[in-house]
Amino acid sequence: MKIKICGMTNVEDALAAVEAGADAVGFVFHHASPRRVTADVVKRIVAQLPPFVLPVGVFVNEDVKIVRDWMDDCGLVVAQLHGDEAAAYCDLLGRPVLKAIRLKDRGSLLSLAEYKGRLRVRGFVLDAFSTVSYGGTGQVTDWTLAAEAARSAPVILAGGLTPENVAEAIQKVKPYGVDVSSGVESRPGRKDHAKMRAFIKAAKLA
């Protein structure tokens, strides 16, 4: 089970996540997020990550050139696109992509077909639908819909995951990986190291 801890804002939290067993760490560049970070902060954190830990940039409806520049400048390996980016955007970006799909109903599953088979799209992050935010809300994703999606595509389950429910979520959805942010925080942008350890342990055991 692959595990990504998202919303990193400082070196201490990122290294604690890695020490606990995280496979990837995420950095949010969206201006409306309470976990937003600057390129300078991300560069300092990425420079201290050990080999084989994947640094991921989270972007929302950002200009293609800006995303490319930020990724190259910060040493980010994957772009997690959490907005309304079309399949053509993913092609134009020219970087490995995780496309986020916010599951509202069965119609949301049709969105996957637009991106499946695209060279740059390596998988999908399934998050809860919200009318007020593109992610990081703590709302639990519809696991039934997520399980259906996981049968036909590599998915990373996000949305409302916690140390208490991640094992059940994995058993029901059977995703390739899980992605957590608010569920392991002491406050927005600051991670609770004990919660991260508990989350990763529960996910690995599941």
Which sequence positions are flagged as catalytic?
6, 127
Reading the block at residue 57, the tokens are 């940039």
Q: Give CA–CA dist 109/103, Å, rounded.
A: 7
